[in-house]
Amino acid sequence: MVLERADLPKPLRPHRAKLFGLTTDPFCLYQIRTARKPGSRYASSDQCRREVARAEALFRAHGLPYLDTTHASVEEIATAILQRLGLLPGFG
């Protein structure tokens, strides 16, 4: 599993400067996965918490910017990424 290691996956390494992580609330992830595969290890709340924590730790360890997308639309996510990368002026 990719998240068991602290290294970036090899295919992503050459593109590190272009990477931007997305994360979500573990409980929301649990709800989505429970609807897909109820009762599975994949959908367990512990698994969801571990995966989100590992992903965020990976982003921090490699200095990758990341964004919590729990309550954001695709348009809001795109705008936030462009703003954080300095490709779109901020509002307000």
Q: What is the pTM of this model?
A: 0.82
Residue 40's alpha-carbon distances to 30, 45, 46, 54, 90, in angstroms, are 11, 10, 11, 20, 42
pLDDT-derived band at 4, boundaries 50, 70, 90: low
pLDDT tens across 47-85, in order?
999 999 999 999 999 999 999 999 999 999 999 999 988
What does the pLDDT look like over 19-40, one tens digit per residue?
999 999 999 999 999 999 999 9
Q: Closest Cα to residue 41, out of 50, 7, 89, 9?
A: 50
Is 2 a residue whose pLDDT tops 90?
A: no
CA distance 76 to 4: 30
**Per-residue confidence (pLDDT) for residue 3, from 0 to 100:** 62
